Amino acid sequence: MEDLKLHGFWFSPFTMRVVWTLKLKGIAYENIEEDWVNKSPELLEYNPVYKKAPVLVHSGKPICESMIIVEYIDEIWPHNSLVPHDPYERAQARFWVNYADQMVPALFAALYFKCGAGEEKENPIEKIWEHLKVIEDRCLGDKRKFFGGDTINIVDIAFGSLFKVLGIIEDVNEVKVRDAEKFPLLHSWFNNFKNVTVIKENFPDREKMSATIKSIIEKALASS
């Protein structure tokens, strides 16, 4: 077994990205579950800049930021590759990974919006729908099974974790965000993605995840 440790939060979409990557490649690792409130001294030492998880520690060397970790894993263990080999396809994949991460502020705004902390003049769910429309029209127009074609790649990993969060936003806001009629291609893609055996086996329980995230938000609001 490699000297490989993953510091993360089980409910974090960013930790999910790393877990899925390791599982898809069949790489053994030690999972270190962090406490959201009381982060371990090791985590703070490994990520002194952002002080957040996930952090992958490989032979004592820390790697931070979820999609950087995903690409690192793919380079060190190239079997079942997730990063396209063709330079153009690789550039396109990284573009959409970056686009996925640009959605994150809208996702967090939508979570806090329901709980009374949102100061936005418009419902942030509308912003999320704008992002989803772009993905539907520009990224899945050829009706491929996955963003990577017939196999999962880094774009599926990036968007898949955020689509899990969309389900939590639906629970918190009591509104349908992942609308199959509005976004039929994304609906089909997500069904394909979540039914891949490795992904399905490592999908956090929705009810438990919703309760945990809602509790974190409520505590944050109460202390602010």
Is there a contact between 160 and 12 (Cβ–Cβ < 8 Å)? no
Tokens 């894993």 identify what position? 73
Sheet strands side by side (includes 30-33): 30-33, 4-8, 55-58, 61-64
Residue 199, both tokens: 């992904």
Inter-residue contact 196 to 156 (CB < 8 Å): no
pLDDT in tens, 63-76: 999 999 999 999 99
**Second CATH level (architecture) for the domain 87-222:** Up-down Bundle (1.20)
Nearest to 25 by CA among 71, 81, 72, 67: 81
Instruction: With CA atoms as reference, report the closest residue to 167 among 179, 150, 155, 149.
Output: 179
The ranges of the chain annotated as CATH 1.20.1050.10 are: 87-222
Question: Residues 180-223: pLDDT tens digits?
Answer: 999 999 999 999 999 999 999 999 999 999 999 989 888 888 87
Query: Do 127 and 103 form a contact (C-beta atoms < 8 A)?
Result: no
Task: Give the pLDDT confidence of 137-172 residue by residue, as tens digits.
Answer: 998 877 789 998 999 999 999 999 999 999 999 988
Give the separation between CA 37 and CA 105, rounded to whole angstroms. 21
Domain with CATH 3.40.30.10 in the chain: 4-76
Q: Which residues contact 220 (CB under 8 A, 6 or more apart)?
A: 117
- Say which residues have a Cβ less than 8 Å from residue 124's Cβ, sequence separation at least 6: 106, 109, 110, 113, 118
Other Cβ atoms closer than 10 A to 185: 16
pLDDT for res 148: 87
Considering the segment(s) 4-76 as one domain, its CATH architecture is 3-Layer(aba) Sandwich (3.40)
Is the pLDDT score of 1 beyond 60? no
* CB 15, CB 64: distance < 8 Å: no
Q: What is the pLDDT of residues 74-131, one digit of tens each?
A: 999 999 999 999 999 999 999 999 999 999 999 999 988 765 555 555 788 999 999 9
